[in-house]
């Protein structure tokens, strides 16, 4: 029998073991199912976290592109933004914009690539701007894989790196491929081979110029051409424009790489994981790289399902030195860690340390940091601080406007304002005379008719005023020229004259609008400083119209990549990290959930098995969510779910196949006359269907209908049966709602018990609650019976209930041919006697003292309204029992006069019959028709008639 009972758990255990073995395979940490469940049940429901207030994202949004201009912007414009951030005292300025190629002018239609003109003068303003803020960080692209598809490309690169002078024909013959296949990859492979050759020569100690000369020279004259200028270097392979272009591009890359090796790498203090290797790096331009304080690569890789969740903090590009990720470089600049190093003190932990200070970052199995996103983060969220670049651009423009005026004033000296005011006064006079109608713009009279002499005089005055104005303007221009040390007008070039005219117009505009501009500049500064001052400002593209840097994340379907860098910085500054569970913990969690679900599914019926299994999995998911929310611990979700699902399906299916027939027979037989609870116990353990029982502390419930004989005599048989059906159904429902077990129907009587087949610590309280519910249902039941014609006219349905608690024997009692699940014992007999005592005391619900004590102990004093009746000695009992009445605490009149009743009862038990009779009379005034009070008054009257004195004894019940 035991092997049969345990056999039902075997399918669930086997399926759990199967799923656990899959944990490290297709359903591991980075499986699509696992990642999707993490997004749904962890990231998307977690409350938003407070992020670092130090970080501000400077957004190049759609509005900025509309108001400022199409992307890409001129480098001078970006330089002005950086300068403006420095003026506003930003702590760190980071550009999430790649500057890995020299700016080039667009060639005219039909021009070739060789005619592209390098505009190096655009680089210098940006390089100078990068030196103004406290710290600046640049970014650059890297590639962890070879971007050119096909197997031939790496073979070509290797061959050309060994000897770049090989022709296409030589390569095709050496690699055993066609000339067309070589031509497909030749240019790209040659450029990469030249880059690798140059970088190796530089690593060996040669300068870039020497490396280019060595590479370009013919073999026999290599030593003689070491100092050859790189632009003039030629060789067997470098005789065409294409070869010279590839050499220049490779030299430019090597120069940038060399600068990066000197300024942008981080030392590694121990071994470097092999998975962190990078194939190609495209550093920023060398002038920008040396002007900035730090740099980092901008890679934000996608998971298998195309969503950004993690990022490598370092990548290996050269021996024992590492490239830092953009966010890591920004965080280190903010912390002031200039000489930090990287180590791996233990598996899946990266340590960033400078001196005695360090930060331990948990990594996943691939060496990546899981980004701790803030829930709901996006361009419209309240996560990281956001600032549109439009306001910063306006600030930069106003600041440049003020700087230009100050520069002009510094160059032109102090004479300019005096001459300017004199000029403006003359212009005002001339305008005023014209406004009076005396002169038009051409000097003609426009007033009323007058004599010719007046007109001539007026015209003469106006001409003199104009001459004076022109003279002042000439003097003003001469003053400009003299102060600037320029030649006189007759020797002045046209462009210089136009520049001074433009300066004059600018100063006049400033004198008119400068005050407004200064006021606007002050307001902008106050508005921008809370976002910029002493903060980390990351400038990046967020415009959705370009969609160049929008990436799906667990918390937002399309998040600009600059936010990923911002959250890397935030995680490092707050040291708030997400930790993936190790493999052993994931397997242990899978086995634990599968085992618990198997036990739950094997211990209940089909429906309860499914509910129990769901409860176990829900509890695991809730615990996983709390661990993720509180400590950032990411528990596995896919395999525990699969293990639980497989366990419940397997266990329930097996039980249905092996136990279904027996269960259906037990259910069909026993649910007709006993509680669903008992049937479920019997279904789960059919061995309970044997003779025998067990002793338990329980509560028994007896009830019948008062005056049922009179009711039955007035109803025909059909209506009597319908009457009993409605009544018994209502009363039974109240019992079963509280977990009672129906024992039997005895005509109009009901016998039930609480505490079996399932143990109940509060069996007494549940029984009283069922009795209260029975009483409260009587008014509605009376109305229903009358409406259906099942209650004789003038009759009311009244019941009597007796309740007793104590030790009882419960089990299948009877013969081998017929038995029933019931209770026997002295406490059961007492319950029947108490139910009969209601007739004598005129009560509805009576209970024993033990029932009262156990109910109060489990439910409290305020749950039930109980009145003491007194000691009663029943037939067959030597010792009297204290009896209590249950009253409905929801009825307002239930408590009326109870204090008077308790006082009268105390007088009676002291033998003070006269005083007790008077006191009970007062109770009757408060509670007219009160049954116990009438019973006591009748007993007192009899005692006085019999001249009895002294304390009375218990009530004597002579009938069963």
The residue assigned the tokens 């519910």 is 773
| pTM to 2 decimal places | 0.60
Say what the pLDDT of residue 217 is.
Answer: 66
User: How far, CA to CA in Å, does 879 sit from each of 872, 885, 897?
Assistant: 9, 20, 30
Give the three-class secondary structure for 321: strand
User: CA-CA distance, 312 to 352, in Å (whole number)?
Assistant: 13
β-pairing, 385-388 vs 55-60, is parallel
Q: Phi/psi class of residue 272: alpha, beta or left (left: φ > 0; alpha: ψ in -120 to 50)?
A: beta
Spatial contact of 570 and 52, defined as CB atoms under 8 Å apart: yes
DSSP string, 814-829: E-SS-EEEEEESHHHH
Spatial contact of 55 and 635, defined as CB atoms under 8 Å apart: no
User: CA-CA distance, 139 to 296, in Å (whole number)?
Assistant: 5
Report residue 198 as tokens.
């140059």
Residues of the chain with pLDDT under 50: 1-4, 105-118, 218-238, 376-382, 414, 434-452, 673
Burial of 663 (0-12, 13-18, 19+ CB in 10 A): buried
The contacts of residue 12 (CB under 8 Å, 6+ apart) are 594, 597, 598, 601, 602, 646, 647, 648, 650, 651
CA angle 533, 535, 538 (to 5 degrees): 120
Give the three-class secondary structure for 116: coil
pLDDT tens track for 322-356? 899 999 999 999 999 988 999 888 888 999 999 88
Say what the pLDDT of residue 228 is.
Answer: 36
User: CA-CA distance, 180 to 177, in Å (whole number)?
Assistant: 8
Report residue 194 as tokens.
């030249």
The contacts of residue 406 (CB under 8 Å, 6+ apart) are none
The residue assigned the tokens 């932990």 is 349
Q: Residue 632 CA to chain centroid, in angstroms?
A: 11
DSSP 43: I
Please tell me the total number of residues recorded for the chain in this structure: 960
Helix or strand (DSSP H, E) at 538 = strand 536-541
For 117, half-sphere exposure in the C-beta direction (CA atoms, 13 angstrom radius) is 8
**Strand partners of residue 870:** 883
The contacts of residue 333 (CB under 8 Å, 6+ apart) are 92, 135, 137, 293, 294
**Does the bond joining 72 to the residue before it have cis omega, within 30 degrees of 0?**
yes
DSSP 533: B
Residue (of 192, 208, 289, 203) closest to 249 by Cα position = 192
Give the three-class secondary structure for 870: strand
Backbone angles phi, psi at 46, to 5 degrees: -70, 135
Say what the pLDDT of residue 106 is.
Answer: 42
Spatial contact of 233 and 212, defined as CB atoms under 8 Å apart: yes
Dihedral, CA atoms, 234, 235, 239, 243, nearest 10 degrees?
A: -90
User: CA-CA distance, 295 to 282, in Å (whole number)?
Assistant: 12
The residue assigned the tokens 């509670």 is 927
Say what the pLDDT of residue 264 is.
Answer: 82
**Does the bond joining 757 to the residue before it have cis omega, within 30 degrees of 0?**
yes
pLDDT tens track for 648-704? 777 766 666 666 666 666 666 556 545 666 677 766 666 655 556 788 999 999 999
Say what the pLDDT of residue 547 is.
Answer: 64
């Amino acid at each position: 029998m035991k092997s049969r009972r345990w056999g039902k758990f075997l399918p669930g255990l086997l399926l759990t073991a199967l799923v656990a073995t899959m944990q490290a395979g297709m359903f591991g940490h980075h499986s699509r199912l696992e990642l999707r469940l993490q997004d749904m049940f962890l990231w998307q429901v977690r409350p938003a976290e407070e992020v670092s207030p130090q970080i501000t994202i400077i957004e190049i949004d759609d509005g900025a592109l509309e108001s400022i201009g199409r992307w890409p912007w001129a480098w001078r414009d970006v330089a002005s933004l950086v300068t403006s951030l420095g003026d506003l005292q930003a702590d760190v300025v980071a550009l999430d914009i790649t500057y890995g190629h020299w700016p080039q002018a667009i060639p005219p239609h039909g021009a070739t690539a060789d005619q592209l003109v390098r505009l190096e003068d655009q680089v210098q303003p940006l390089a100078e701007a990068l030196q103004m803020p406290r710290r600046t960080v640049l970014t650059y692209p890297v590639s962890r894989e070879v971007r050119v598809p096909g197997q031939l490309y790496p073979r070509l690169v290797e061959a050309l790196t060994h000897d770049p002078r090989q022709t296409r024909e030589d390569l095709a013959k050496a690699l055993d491929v066609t000339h067309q296949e070589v031509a497909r990859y030749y240019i790209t492979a040659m450029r990469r081979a030249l880059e690798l050759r140059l970088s190796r020569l530089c690593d060996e100690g040669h300068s870039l110029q020497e490396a280019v000369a060595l590479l370009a020279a013919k073999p026999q004259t290599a030593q003689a051409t070491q100092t050859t200028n790189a632009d003039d270097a030629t060789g067997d392979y470098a005789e065409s424009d294409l070869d010279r272009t590839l050499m220049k591009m490779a030299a430019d890359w090597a120069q940038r790489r060399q600068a990066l090796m000197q300024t942008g790498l981080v030392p590694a203090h121990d071994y470097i994981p092999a998975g962190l290797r990078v194939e190609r790096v495209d550093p920023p331009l060398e002038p920008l790289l040396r002007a900035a304080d730090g740099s980092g690569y901008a890679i934000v890789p996608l998971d298998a399902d195309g969503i950004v969740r993690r990022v490598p903090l370092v990548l290996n590009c050269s021996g024992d030195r590492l490239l830092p990720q953009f966010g890591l470089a920004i965080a280190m600049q903010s912390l002031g860690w200039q000489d930090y190093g990287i180590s791996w003190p233990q598996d899946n932990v990266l340590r960033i340390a400078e001196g005695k200070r360090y930060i331990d970052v948990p990594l996943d199995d691939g060496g990546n940091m899981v980004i701790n996103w803030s829930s709901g983060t996006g361009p419209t969220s309240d996560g990281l601080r956001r600032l549109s670049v439009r306001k910063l651009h306006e600030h930069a423009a106003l600041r440049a406007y003020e700087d230009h005026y100050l520069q002009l004033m510094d160059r032109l000296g102090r004479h300019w304002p005096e001459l300017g005011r004199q000029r403006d006064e003359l212009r005002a006079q001339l305008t005023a005379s014209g406004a009076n109608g005396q002169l038009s713009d051409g000097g003609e009279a426009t007033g009323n008719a007058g004599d010719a002499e007046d007109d001539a005089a007026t015209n003469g005055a106006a001409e003199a005023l104009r001459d004076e104005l022109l003279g002042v303007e000439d003097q003003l221009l001469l003053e400009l020229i003299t102060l600037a040390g320029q030649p006189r007008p007759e020797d002045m070039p046209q462009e210089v004259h136009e520049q001074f005219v433009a300066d004059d117009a600018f100063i006049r505009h400033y004198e008119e609008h400068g005050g407004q501009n200064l006021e606007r500049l002050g307001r902008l500064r106050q508005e921008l400083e809370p976002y910029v001052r002493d903060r980390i400002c990351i400038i990046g593209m967020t415009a959705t119209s370009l969609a160049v840097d929008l990436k799906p994340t667990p918390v937002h379907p399309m998040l600009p990549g600059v936010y990923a860098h911002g959250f890397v910085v935030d995680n490092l500054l707050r040291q708030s990290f997400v930790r993936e569970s190790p493999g052993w913990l994931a397997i242990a969690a899978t086995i634990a959930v599968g085992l618990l679900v198997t036990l739950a599914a094997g211990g209940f019926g089909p429906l309860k098995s499914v509910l129990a299994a769901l409860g176990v999995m829900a509890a695991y998911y809730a615990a996983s969510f709390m661990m993720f929310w509180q400590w950032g611990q990411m528990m596995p979700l896919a395999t525990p779910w699969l293990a639980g699902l497989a366990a419940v399906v397997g266990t329930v299916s097996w039980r249905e196949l092996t136990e279904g027939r027996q269960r259906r027979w037990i259910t069909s037989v026993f649910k007709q006359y006993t509680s669903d609870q008992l049937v479920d116990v019997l279904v789960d353990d059919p061995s309970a269907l044997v003779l025998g029982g067990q002793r338990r502390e329980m509560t028994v419930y007896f009830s019948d209908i008062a005056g049922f004989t009179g009711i039955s005599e007035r109803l025909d048989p059909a209506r009597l049966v319908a009457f009993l059906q409605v009544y018994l159904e209502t009363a039974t429902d109240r019992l079963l709602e509280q977990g009672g077990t129906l024992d039997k129907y005895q005509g109009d009587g009901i016998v039930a018990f609480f505490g079996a087949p399932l143990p109940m610590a509060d069996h007494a309280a549940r029984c009283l609650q069922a009795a209260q519910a029975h009483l409260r249902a009587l008014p509605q039941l009376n109305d229903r019976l009358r409406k259906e014609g099942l209650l004789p006219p003038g009759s009311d349905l009244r019941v009597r209930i007796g309740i007793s608690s104590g030790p009882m024997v419960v089990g299948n009692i009877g013969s081998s041919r017929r038995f029933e699940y019931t209770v026997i014992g002295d406490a059961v007999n007492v319950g029947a006697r108490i139910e009969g005592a209601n007739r004598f005391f005129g009560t509805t619900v009576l209970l024993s003292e033990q029932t009262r004590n156990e109910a109060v102990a489990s439910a409290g004093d305020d749950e039930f309204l109980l009145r003491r009746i007194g000691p009663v000695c029943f037939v067959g009992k030597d010792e009297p029992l204290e009896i209590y009445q249950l009253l409905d605490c929801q009825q307002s009149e239930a408590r009326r006069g109870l204090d008077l009743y308790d006082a009268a009862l105390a007088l009676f038990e002291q033998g003070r019959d006269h005083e007790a009779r008077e006191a009970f009379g007062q109770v009757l005034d408060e509670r007219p028709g009160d049954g116990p009070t009438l019973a006591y008054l009748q007993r007192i009257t009899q005692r006085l008639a019999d001249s009895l004195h002294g304390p009375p004894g218990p009530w004597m019940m002579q009938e069963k």
